[in-house]
Structure 1
Amino acid sequence: MNKAKLYYVHDPMCAWCWGYQPAWQAIEQTLVQKVDPNIEIVYLVGGLAPDSNEPMPAEMQRQIRSYWQKIEDYLGTQFNYDFWSNNTPRRSTYPACRAVLAAREQGAEKAMIRAIQEAYYLRALNPSDLEVLVRLAQELKLDSERFSQQMQSTHLNRTLLEEISFARSIGGNSFPSLFVEREGNLQELPIDYDNPRSTLNLIDEICR
């Protein structure tokens, strides 16, 4: 019997994904630590916002700041609001998504996701900027020259667009999203930010 697949659709610059990180980490660790895991975990970048060099309008900045505050109040997630005064924000997450794919090629997908999240939300750096992403690759001890070349390649961009298209095709239109595929059937799981055990119980039921 083929393994079931658990698709985690995310964007490394999605604030709700940052808030979900503790619950998701608990889910993933529990599944990975099983002696005979019957499910494969697949990360999919969802592509929250396309490439743009335009400064983010002030109204949108206020709106996203309000999301941060809401998540902070609801989940206790930490945010560094210096980001908004230290940078020229752009509504552009595709570069960060490409960085995740480029790091995947070097076996560091999850490490890059975490590095981008911490750079953005804790260190007040701007992961929409290529130089920030290259710096993160260097900090992760990746082959930064290879990383930089891939970040600007048409092949990686095509891979990104294909992955976004696949994520949309299974219903991954908001982030984070979880889907279990088993024997040709696809089921979306509710996102529970407070109780990873409820998600694990659902996965067990589906994969039983």
Structure 2
Amino acid sequence: MTILHYIHDPLCGWCYAATAMLEAARARPEIRLRMHGGGLWHPATRLRDGQRQHILEADARIAALTGQPFGAAYRSLLADPETVLHSRPAIAALLAVPEALAPAMLRAIQRAHYVEGQRVVEEGVLVSLALALGLEEAAFRAGLAAAPVEAHINTTRRLMQRVGATSFPTFLAERDGNTEIVPHMDCYEDAAAFVARL
């Protein structure tokens, strides 16, 4: 059994780019996934022009490399000076769902953000995504309110410091008590090669 530790952020474009790698790994029964949200946009941030341009350039590279879609509504969201990027609500949503549903919730958040241009910092948007996954609204809202987000982000950042991780995403493979970083930068176009590396 290999434990794949996925250090990510729901609002990280390169984590969105890594979707095929993550799904290919999850399809293998000998691999167990553990997700660690790192808080890329924490605290809440309104984008400056330079940040916005950097994101758009990265998005173009991601689309060309992986085929991942970026919708017009998302580009409009980025262009809106009132848009706030904040990782905390999305990470709370991942902690509020059963662990087995967290990857599906992550995909739903990413699609809502990158394709549909929804404001995933808003609780109502996150609730609608949870309902679409078949979750019960009151239970999900209670989970959101109780999610230990700050502790989770702090734990993730300590893990990153311990293993020398400096960016999102980072993949760690744990086997027999030993943990090592799994190189992935050359696998965005070849998820099978990433799985073979595990």
1:48 aligns with 2:40: yes
- For 2:35, give the aligned amino acid: Y
Q: Which among 82, 91, 98 is matched to residue 73 of structure 2?
A: 82
TM-score, normalised relative to structure 2: 0.84
Alignment partner, residue 206 of structure 1: none
Q: Which runs of 5+ in 1 are unaligned?
A: 204-208
Alignment partner, residue 169 of structure 2: 176
Q: Which among 199, 202, 206 is matched to residue 194 of structure 2?
A: 199
CA–CA distance in 1 between the matches of 2:172 and 2:65?
24
Confirm or deny: 8 A CA contact 1:4 1:180 kept in the other structure.
yes
Please report how far the alpha carbon of residue 157 of structure 1 lies from its aligned counterpart in structure 2 after TM superposition: 3.9
Please report how far the alpha carbon of residue 181 of structure 1 lies from its aligned counterpart in structure 2 after TM superposition: 1.6
* Larger gyration radius, structure 1 or structure 2: 1
SS of equivalent to 1:138: helix
Confirm or deny: 8 A CA contact 2:42 2:88 kept in the other structure.
yes
**Alpha-carbon RMSD:** 2.3
TM-score, normalised relative to structure 1: 0.81
Confirm or deny: 8 A CA contact 2:18 2:188 kept in the other structure.
yes
Aligned residues: 193
Confirm or deny: 8 A CA contact 1:14 1:48 kept in the other structure.
yes
CA–CA distance in 1 between the matches of 2:157 and 2:136?
25
SS of equivalent to 1:18: helix
Q: 1:166 to 1:74 in 2, by over 3 A?
A: same
Question: % of aligned pairs identical?
Answer: 26
1:28 aligns with 2:22: no
SS of equivalent to 2:97: helix
Higher mean C-alpha displacement, 116-125 vs 152-161: 152-161
Confirm or deny: 8 A CA contact 1:46 1:163 kept in the other structure.
yes
SS of equivalent to 1:152: helix
Cα-to-partner distance string for 1:14-68 (whole Å, 9 max, x where unaligned): 1111112123212321x22xxxx2x43222222212132x532233222212211
CA–CA distance in 2 between the matches of 1:193 and 1:91?
25
Q: Which runs of 5+ in 2 are unaligned?
A: none
Alignment partner, residue 2 of structure 2: 4
